[in-house]
Amino acid sequence: MVDLPGASEALRELAARGVERSYARGRLLIEEGDVGDTLFIVAAGRLRAYSTSADGSREITYGVYGPGEYVGEMSLDGGPRAANVEALERSRCLVVTRATLEAFIAERPAFAFELLAKVIRRARAATLSARQMALNDVYGRLRLLLQSLAVPQPDGSALIAERLTHKEIAQRIGCSREMVSRLMKDLERGGHLRRDLATWSFPRALPPRW
């Protein structure tokens, strides 16, 4: 059985039937629009699912997935891939074909419900993201993202240990990197954000509007 942090026993059993492959940083595993029938179970590294505008000038990130998670399940109905998936760093995956998955589900029918639950959770997340894009301005989307990443501290402040670049933030909230940089500088000047070498801290609560 494959050791996958946080994965269910069934997923570890399925991963053991896959083919192990390694991907260099920046390698494209899945291209949006292609037809594919493989599931990528992450054993090490991180993958990013995203789409780009027609002219390639803008990107939107749907999610970042690490060990114990998987991508590619949305195309198991035979339809085209719904997003691009790239390796954010050197990554290792167990690649499972649709035929292997179908055989596994025949043996372990309960896994079909686990897979369905994952699809539903991602569909809900996509709905929430679309709603936030439609109903919030750029600052509102930035605030929601920072709040989702921040960990409360005993002194009442909040801390983000894994800092994203301004470009990565822009990709997640659907705006320009320049806009993110301006808003982050404004928050820093206002005393809401403090940037250290490896972390961001929030001495004061982020204002509801900016």
pLDDT at 202: 87
Is residue 204 scored above 90 in pLDDT?
no
Which of 68, 66, 47 lies closest to 3, judged by CA?
Answer: 68
pLDDT at 103: 94
Alpha-carbon gap, residue 210 to 186, rounded angstroms: 9
User: Residues 192, 182: contact at Cβ < 8 Å?
Assistant: no
Which of 79, 85, 40 lies closest to 59, judged by CA?
Answer: 85
Higher pLDDT, 153 or 27: 27
User: Residues 83, 125: contact at Cβ < 8 Å?
Assistant: no
For 73-129, what is each residue's pLDDT tens digit? Answer: 876 777 788 889 999 999 999 999 999 999 999 999 999 998 888 888 887 877 777
Domains of the chain (ranges, CATH numbers) = 9-134 (2.60.120.10), 137-202 (1.10.10.10)
pLDDT at 1: 66
pLDDT at 123: 79
pLDDT at 152: 83
For residue 101, the tally of other CB atoms under 10 A from its CB is 21
* pLDDT mean over 46-68: 86
Q: DSSP for 145-189? A: HHHHH-EE-TTS-EEESSPPPHHHHHHHHTS-HHHHHHHHHHHHH
* pLDDT mean over 118-146: 81
pLDDT at 124: 83
pLDDT at 74: 72
Which of 75, 58, 152 lies closest to 115, judged by CA?
Answer: 75
* pLDDT mean over 160-182: 86
* pLDDT mean over 55-62: 80
pLDDT at 13: 94
